[in-house]
Chain A
């Protein structure tokens, strides 16, 4: 039998399209998880108990169950309640919320770590509580937390392979489609691994740029 990588170039369009979908899923859910994480962190720290407790409960549920199960529940389960989401949207919501919960834990500690004097000074200058939170405290907290959130984003890129099970034809599923046509699993999964690695390198470069930019403003 032996390995034969010569079948791979024939599926170049499938492969490239799959890569683009992976990048699309990753970027969309990274944005959702970042802004959702900030929102969840603010709710966890400042909202009244009636709002805070259910949110904490849901965060706990999201941290305690597998991402695969959450994707199944969102994509297949919600149909029963009359919510029929497209696979891409369901995947982005699942991935985004899962990582938003993890990011919110990081952002919470960063908000608490911002010096109390910052809030007091902002209030003294006449900003309202919400304004000083939004314009003074959260930007500083987010700047401190960018490196660990970057690590989360790289984990998110790798976990984006999970959305293949609900039928988003990203890198992994497009490899599976090509394997179905050629019966050459090793070749296509190996190229998929190489592509994930290169997307990861690109992402790392972008993250390092963002880190350097935000570090300069210190």
Chain B
């Protein structure tokens, strides 16, 4: 139950980039704004990608921790 939920949370984090299209100032939109002043799209989007990956790694580690605790709690 907890593992598939973790996968869904990761998918959801990636889907949050979509709100940039309606100009919510999140990671992708911020990157776009800085590109407007620096004219460096490749570097900025790459940086945004790295930040997304870091968030995903943290969430995955938390998910694994929760799974571990869950398994431990179930032990008879």
Chain A interface residues (CB < 8 Å from chain B): 61, 64-70, 72-73, 76-81, 162, 165
| Residues of chain B having any CB pair with chain A under 8 Å | 10, 14-18, 20-21, 28, 31-32, 35, 40-43, 45-46, 48-49, 52-53, 56-57
Bound Cα distance A209, B64 (Å): 41
The answer to whether A165 and B42 have CB atoms under 8 Å apart is no
A122 and B52 CA atoms in complex are apart in Å by: 45
List 10 other contacts, CB 8 Å, given A64-B10, A68-B28.
A64-B14, A64-B52, A64-B57, A65-B53, A69-B17, A69-B48, A72-B31, A72-B41, A72-B45, A81-B42
Task: Check A65–B49 contact: CB distance below 8 A.
Answer: yes
- Rounded to whole Å, the gap between the CB of B52 and the closest CB of chain A is 5
* A80 CA / B28 CA spacing, docked (Å): 18
27 A-B contact pairs sorted by A residue (CB < 8 Å): A61-B49, A64-B10, A64-B52, A64-B53, A64-B56, A64-B57, A65-B14, A66-B18, A66-B28, A67-B14, A68-B21, A69-B17, A69-B31, A69-B49, A72-B32, A73-B42, A73-B49, A76-B41, A77-B42, A78-B42, A79-B41, A79-B42, A80-B40, A80-B41, A80-B42, A80-B43, A81-B42
B43: which A residues are within 8 A, CB to CB?
80
Shortest A189–chain B CB gap in Å is 12
B18, A77: Cβ atoms under 8 Å?
A: no
A67, A72, A162, most chain B CB atoms within 10 A? A72
Contact check, B20 vs A68: say whether CB atoms are below 8 A apart.
yes
**B39 and chain A: residue at smallest CB distance:** A80
